[in-house]
């Protein structure tokens, strides 16, 4: 999808939140291209076709959502969004519009304050939060609902509130997701902190745990990559559910990020001709593990070239486990030295979907047994 550019993965203090252009409208999502790929990739027929089709591809997954309806007010530089008025509690989230946002683009993220007032107007509570706000109301609110649903897991960043602002016709105009305020930065910005394979493996176990929970709820994330995990101390937290999909399969191919997207997304088909499944997330997880383990793959061009090879080695789509294993072995990556079992496990995450792990839980079981 468009290689989703910097939306600054910051949830404060340091850069937090997504270096991805979190979903643009759920019915016409066209991701942003960060940079041109190497010539070998730009001239790759499959890649060129995907790029040409994706710009006009409809977004098949119209997302439903549940949200409170809020009203916006202004006082000087301060913007306030209020909801629950007339109930026993009123909630107000306020932010300084002139401050530098944590991230700004089609989706902005602001440091804000969430206050809860009693019916008599007295303040019940007040705390700092992160406010994610944008005109892709359905995408943001659907993502917030997913985060609310999964918020009990330590490896997933939850959402506290989902609030919609409607236009004069009553249609969703602005989506607002209110999340815990976390001082953190992205895994992508902290890859050099994982200086040993043991540290990488422990971190990747957390990643597999997070995605196993997501898959266990019947949800595909569809944009897994290091940028979409926060490093909060020793804990990794999965974020950015705006393009997630709840269901067994779909044919919406305008999702994901170049160098992490599965072959089914790029080819815009599956070997069987049906829709793709959670297996697309498994491929993205396999790429994430390689990037965490192999320093050279943290370079965009190098990663682009490996991604192309994995999708269509020797010009043949849908490579077997054996073919992927041979390809990776020829790279002489240290991570696989003296560990043939791990090589097989990662190859099974990156091969044709017919032979790939069904979901993150199956991948997790195999990974834990191999290390």
Give 186-370's CATH code, choosing from 1.10.760.10, 3.40.605.10, 1.10.510.10, 1.10.3720.10: 1.10.510.10
Q: Which residues pair with 176 in a beta bridge?
A: 133, 163
| Each residue's pLDDT tens digit, 89-100 | 999 999 999 999
The SS3 of residue 47 is: helix
pTM: 0.87
Any idea of the CA torsion for 261, 262, 267, 270, to the nearest 10 degrees?
Answer: -150
How is residue 285 written in tokens? 């997880």
Q: Judging by DSSP bridges, how do beta strands 71-75 and 185-186 pair with one another?
A: unpaired
- The count of other CB atoms within 10 Å of the CB of residue 4 is 27
- In the chain, which ranges are E strands? 68-69, 71-75, 78-83, 89-96, 107-118, 123-134, 161-166, 172-180, 185-186, 219-220, 229-232, 235-238, 245-246
| Each residue's pLDDT tens digit, 168-227 | 878 788 999 999 998 878 999 999 999 999 999 999 999 999 999 999 999 999 999 999
Are residues 130 and 112 in contact, defined by beta-carbon separation less than 8 angstroms? yes
Cα separation, 305 vs 300, whole angstroms: 9
Cα separation, 12 vs 33, whole angstroms: 25
Per-residue burial over 214-240, b = 16 or more CB atoms within 10 Å of its CB, e = otherwise: bbeeebbbbbbbbbbbbbbeeebbbbb
Residues 6+ apart with CB under 8 A from 191: 226, 291, 292, 298
Nearest to 83 by CA among 73, 95, 70: 70
Are residues 165 and 176 in contact, defined by beta-carbon separation less than 8 angstroms? yes
Are residues 251 and 224 in contact, defined by beta-carbon separation less than 8 angstroms? no
- The count of other CB atoms within 10 Å of the CB of residue 212 is 18
145, with CB counted inside 10 A (0-12, 13-18, 19+), is buried
How confident is the prediction along the chain (371 residues), in pLDDT tens digits per residue?
333 333 333 333 333 333 333 332 333 333 444 457 999 999 999 999 998 887 666 554 556 789 999 999 999 999 999 999 777 899 999 999 999 998 888 899 999 999 999 988 899 999 999 999 999 899 999 999 999 999 999 999 999 999 999 988 787 889 999 999 988 789 999 999 999 999 999 999 999 999 999 999 999 999 999 999 999 999 999 999 999 999 999 988 989 999 999 999 999 999 999 999 999 999 999 999 999 999 999 999 999 999 999 999 999 999 999 999 999 999 999 999 999 999 999 999 999 999 999 999 999 999 999 99
Give pLDDT, residue 371: 96
**Average pLDDT value for the chain:** 89
The residue to which tokens 């491929």 are assigned: 283
Q: Is 163 left (phi over 0), alpha (psi -120 to 50) or beta?
A: beta
How is residue 97 written in tokens? 């519009």
Q: Where are the domains of the chain?
A: 68-180, 186-370
* Domain spanning 68-180, CATH architecture: 2-Layer Sandwich (3.30)
Residues 6+ apart with CB under 8 A from 51: none
Cα separation, 330 vs 315, whole angstroms: 17
How is residue 302 written in tokens? 């190098």
Are residues 218 and 361 in contact, defined by beta-carbon separation less than 8 angstroms? no
């Amino acid at each position: 999808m468009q290689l989703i550019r910097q939306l600054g993965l910051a949830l404060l203090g340091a850069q937090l939140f997504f270096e991805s252009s979190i979903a643009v409208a759920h019915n016409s999502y066209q991701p942003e291209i960060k940079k041109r790929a190497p010539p070998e990739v730009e001239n790759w027929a499959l890649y060129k076709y995907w790029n040409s089709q994706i710009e006009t591809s409809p977004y098949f997954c119209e997302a439903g959502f549940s949200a409170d309806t809020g009203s916006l007010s202004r006082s000087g530089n301060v913007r306030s969004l209020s909801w629950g008025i007339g109930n026993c509690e009123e909630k107000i989230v306020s932010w300084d519009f002139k401050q530098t946002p944590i991230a700004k683009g089609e989706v902005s993220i602001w440091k804000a304050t969430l206050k809860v007032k009693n019916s008599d107007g007295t303040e019940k509570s007040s705390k700092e939060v992160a406010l994610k706000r944008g005109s892709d109301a359905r995408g943001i609110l659907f993502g917030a609902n997913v985060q609310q649903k999964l918020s009990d897991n330590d490896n997933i960043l939850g959402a506290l509130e989902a609030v919609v602002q409607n236009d004069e016709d009553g249609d969703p105009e602005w989506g607002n997701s209110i999340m815990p305020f976390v001082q953190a930065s992205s895994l992508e910005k902290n890859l050099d902190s994982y200086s040993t394979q043991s540290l990488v493996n422990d971190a990747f176990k957390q990643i597999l745990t997070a995605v196993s929970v997501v898959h266990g709820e019947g949800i595909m994330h569809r944009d897994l990559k290091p940028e979409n995990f926060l490093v909060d101390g020793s804990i990794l937290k999965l974020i950015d559910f705006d393009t997630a999909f709840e269901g067994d399969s779909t044919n919406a191919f305008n999702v994901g990020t170049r160098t992490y997207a599965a072959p089914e997304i790029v080819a815009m088909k599956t070997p069987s001709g049906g829709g793709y499944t959670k297996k697309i997330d498994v491929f993205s997880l396999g790429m994430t593990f390689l990037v965490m383990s192999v320093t050279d793959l943290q370079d965009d061009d190098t990663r682009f070239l490996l991604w192309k090879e994995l999708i269509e080695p020797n010009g043949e789509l849908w490579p077997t486990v054996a073919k992927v294993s041979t390809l990776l072995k020829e790279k002489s990556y240290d991570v696989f030295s003296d560990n043939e079992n791990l090589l097989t496990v990662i190859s099974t995450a990156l091969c044709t979907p017919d032979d790939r792990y069904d979901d993150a839980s199956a991948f997790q079981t195999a990974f834990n047994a191999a290390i």
